[in-house]
């Protein structure tokens, strides 16, 4: 009898993708002939005399390769193949129909039932070897793909766990960053200050704040660190200490006078000191824009520095809108940069709005930016709204314009309302 292959390895041979073979035929001689050829080729072979018996064997120990006669009493090869394909199993089972049929329609019926290939009876050793080679190739590729998919799923699961851990950390980081703005509103008697901080992600690079300098002076600021995310947020946390409201001795915007009490430093000088601190002590690629203002609670005079930050908006008591300042260099870009202190006077009923560029860069559905003109129109419509309600309404208007409350950039603002003594 012709042999399929000279390779006489057992089923434990790890080089074989196909190891377990099931031969299904109602003819004992046909089963014996084919099984002997397969065993000589090194495969573990089981036999079944009918489709029903074969299904029971497949459920007990799924084979890698099935040779099934087409014409059998009871359940024929097509019905068995169809049932075989509906069985749940881990790997792929290659199915070859043994038949004397060669009609194209018969072959189409076989493929529809789930057969992978056909082998004409009586079985020829060369044909059998070719069919087994094809089966080996398909089963091996399927197992390699399954293993790769398993690795992908495992990797995705690990990445999901990492993502969940990072997401949890970012949620906590957002809480910590929001805690940097300890007071969102404060009444200083002749002036009221309201703060708003809305990050576009979990954490952002914007920061707003206020601090009392003396009985007659207060300081407010808005800053925007370049970039987004964790590194920008860490930078804002570091910078918050330089303008601290709780530890005035660390606040670089304050200076001690001859009486040992604090008074406000010139805002332009504060920006210069902060610029050198960032370039000299903080090793980072980040820079920031800053609007720092010092208000005299008695006179309404505001001294401010505009370091790359948008020009502050001033709304007079009559509703008129004007912008103060004309730019300036960002902080942390150039060494020995100079910053100019400018002044604007507030009368009772006037208010000053410090805002980040994320606000005026909001875009509508056509892609047009809000800009200073659009912001002025929104603030004009909110003329009678005050304090935190005004800032909250401002965010609502931005959401209406952009048709989303998930802005592309951080949005922050300081609203300084001067009432007079």
Residues 267, 218: contact at Cβ < 8 Å? no
Task: Give the architecture-level CATH label for domain 20-148.
Answer: 3-Layer(aba) Sandwich (3.40)
Question: How deeply is 77 buried, as exposed, middle or buried, from its count of CB atoms within 10 A (0-12, 13-18, 19+)?
Answer: buried
Pick the CATH number of 180-418 from 1.10.760.10, 3.40.190.10, 3.60.40.10, 3.20.20.80: 3.60.40.10
Backbone torsions φ then ψ of 237, nearest 5 degrees = -65, -40
397: Cα within 13 Å, side-chain hemisphere = 18
Both structure tokens of 211:
């601090």
Q: Which residues make beta-bridge pairs with 341?
A: 305
Query: 9-13, 157-161, 294-298, 311-315 — which is least confidently predicted?
Result: 9-13
Tens digit of pLDDT for each residue in 177-216? 666 667 889 999 999 999 998 877 656 678 899 999 999 9
| Domain pair 20-148 / 180-418, same fold | no
pLDDT (0 to 100) of residue 7: 44
pLDDT digits (tens, 9 = 90+) for 309-326: 999 999 999 999 999 988
Look at residue 89 in the predicted model and tell me its pLDDT.
87
Q: What mean pLDDT comes out for the span 161-174? A: 71
Q: Please give the structure tokens belonging to residue 89.
A: 């199993």
Question: pLDDT band at residue 170, thresholds of 50, 70 and 90?
Answer: low
Q: Are strands 185-187 and 117-120 parallel, antiparallel or unpaired?
A: unpaired
Query: Could you tell me the residue ranges of all domains in the chain?
Result: 20-148, 180-418
Distances from the Cα of 354 to the Cα of 132, 323, 349, 374, 403, angstroms:
77, 10, 17, 15, 24
Q: Is the pTM of this model over 0.85?
A: no
Structure tokens at 151: 């690795």
Identify the residue whose tokens are 């949005």: 411
Distance CA 351, CA 346 (A): 7
CA distance 21 to 6: 18
3-state secondary structure of 36: helix
> Is 93 in contact with 18 (CB distance < 8 Å)?
no
pLDDT tens profile 146-155:
889 999 999 9
pLDDT of res. 9: 42
The mean pLDDT of the chain is 88
403: left (phi over 0), alpha (psi -120 to 50) or beta: left
Structure tokens at 313: 């908006």
The per-residue pLDDT for 330 is 95
In the beta sheet, which residues pair with residue 347? none
Confidence band, pLDDT 50/70/90 cuts, at residue 10: very low
261 confidence band (pLDDT: 50, 70, 90) = confident
Give the SS3 label for residue 341. strand
Non-local CB neighbours of 324 within 8 Å, separated by 6+ positions: 304, 311, 312, 314, 342, 344
pLDDT for residue 388 is more than 50: yes
Give residue 57's pLDDT. 94
């Amino acid at each position: 009898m012709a042999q399929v292959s000279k390779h006489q390895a057992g089923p434990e041979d790890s080089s074989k993708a196909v190891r377990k073979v099931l031969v299904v035929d109602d003819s004992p001689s046909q089963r014996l002939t084919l099984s002997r050829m397969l065993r000589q080729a090194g495969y573990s072979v089981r036999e079944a005399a009918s489709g029903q018996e074969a299904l029971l064997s497949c459920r007990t120990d799924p084979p890698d390769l099935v040779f099934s006669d087409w014409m059998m009493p009871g359940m024929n090869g097509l019905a068995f193949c169809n049932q075989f394909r509906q069985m749940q199993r881990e790997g792929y089972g290659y199915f070859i129909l043994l038949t004397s049929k060669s009609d194209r329609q018969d072959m189409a019926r076989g493929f529809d039932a789930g057969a992978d290939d056909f082998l004409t009876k009586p079985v020829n050793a060369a044909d059998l070897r070719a069919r087994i080679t094809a089966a080996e190739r398909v089963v091996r590729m399927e197992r390699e793909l399954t293993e790769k998919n398993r690795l992908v799923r495992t990797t995705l699961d690990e990445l999901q766990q990492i993502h969940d851990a990072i997401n949890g950390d970012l949620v906590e980081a957002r809480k910590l960053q929001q805690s940097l703005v300890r007071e969102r509103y404060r009444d200083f008697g002749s002036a009221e200050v309201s703060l708003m901080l809305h990050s576009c992600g979990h954490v952002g690079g914007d920061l707003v704040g206020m601090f009392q300098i003396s009985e007659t002076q207060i300081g407010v600021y808005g800053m925007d660190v370049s970039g987004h995310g964790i590194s920008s947020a860490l930078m804002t946390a570091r910078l918050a200490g330089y303008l601290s409201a709780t530890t005035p001795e660390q606040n670089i915007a304050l200076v001690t006078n001859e009486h040992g009490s604090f008074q406000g430093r010139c805002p332009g000088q504060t920006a210069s000191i902060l610029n050198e601190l960032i370039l000299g002590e903080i090793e980072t690629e980040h820079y920031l824009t800053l609007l720092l203002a010092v208000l005299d609670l008695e006179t309404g005079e505001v001294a401010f520095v505009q370091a790359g930050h948008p020009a502050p908006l001033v709304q007079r008591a009559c509703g008129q809108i004007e912008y103060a300042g004309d730019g300036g260099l960002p902080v942390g870009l150039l060494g020995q940069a100079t910053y100019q202190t400018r002044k604007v006077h507030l009368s009772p009923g006037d208010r000053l709005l410090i805002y980040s560029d994320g606000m005026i860069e909001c875009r509508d559905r056509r892609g047009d930016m809000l800009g200073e003109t659009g912001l002025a129109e929104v603030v004009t419509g909110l003329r009678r709204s005050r304090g935190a309600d005004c800032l909250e309404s401002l965010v609502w208007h931005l959401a209406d314009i952009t048709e989303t409350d998930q802005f592309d950039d951080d949005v922050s603002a300081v609203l300084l309302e001067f009432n007079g003594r």
